[in-house]
Structures are given as C-alpha cells and as structure tokens.
Amino acid sequence: MNNSSNLDLFRATHALEKAKSLRKESVNRLPGLIIANGLLATLAFVSEEKDEREPLRNAMDAVAHYLLKRKIITAKDNNKSLAEQMLEDLTKSPSSKLQQATYETLKYLSYLKRFAKKKI
C-alpha cells in the first residue's frame, strides 16, 4: 500500500466517524464556498456567531479536527471552536501552509460528503 492509499484510508476513516453528527446539506455547501471564496473567507463566514451558521461551523470543525490530526494546523485555545482556531492559525502562516490546508480540506470533504446523512 502506498502513501496515497494510506492517506485516503485515514481521510475516509476520520470522515466516517465525524459524519455521524453532521448535516449532509451543510457538508455539501462547504466545497463550493471554499472554491468560490477561498478557505480563509469560508472560515470567517462559518465562524460568525449566527445560529443558522452552526451546522456549517460543525462541519468545518470536523475538517479542522482532521487537519489537526494531520499536524497541518495547530490549535491551543479551548474557548474557541476548532474552525476559529484554524482561521487564526492559517492567517499567521505562510501561503504554502494555506495551500496545503485548502488542498487537504477539499480532499477530506469529498469523503465527508459521501458519509454524511441527510437529516429529516
């Protein structure tokens, strides 16, 4: 098994666990938001304290948890959501880190979209 397969397996395993508590509609919106506006703008959007953004924030927290496990981002403040900490970390990082985080986020979301269930 090569490194790419191992990474896909890690993405899938993590996404399968996180998808249990997420709304499919929210997960499906994130890739479009990221591609249209960029990862930082999307993080700022979902981090706003509005009730209607909570499902998006929860989905982005799952992404941030994955990136944290991969050691792509760092998070130290337990008083903030992982998405907010991801935003802070990436705004203080070189552009190469933002590119890597964006790439990994989109790859991870492809799995999360497959596993998230439609909420009725």
Domains of the chain: 3-115 (1.10.520.30)
Backbone dihedral angles phi then psi of residue 92, each to the nearest 5 degrees: -100, 5
**pLDDT above 90 as % of the chain:** 80
Selected residue with higher pLDDT from 9 and 78: 9
| pLDDT bracket for residue 3 (50, 70, 90) | low
| pLDDT tens string 20-77 | 999 899 999 999 999 999 999 999 999 998 989 999 999 999 999 999 999 999 988 7
Q: Which positions ≥6 away from 66 have C-beta within 8 Å? A: 11, 14, 15, 18, 104, 108
Does pLDDT of 120 surpass 60? no
pLDDT of residue 90: 96
Q: Name the CA dihedral angle for 19, 21, 24, 28, rounded to a multiple of 10 degrees.
A: -60
Instruction: Answer whether 0.85 is exceeded by the pTM.
Output: yes
> What DSSP letter does each residue of 48-98 carry, written as one string?
S--GGGHHHHHHHHHHHHHHHHTTSS----TTS-HHHHHHHHHHTS-HHHH
Q: How much of the chain, in percent, has pLDDT values that exceed 70?
A: 94
pLDDT at 16 over 90: yes
Among 60, 72, 2, CA closest to 26: 60
**Residues 112, 15: Cα–Cα separation, whole Å:** 5
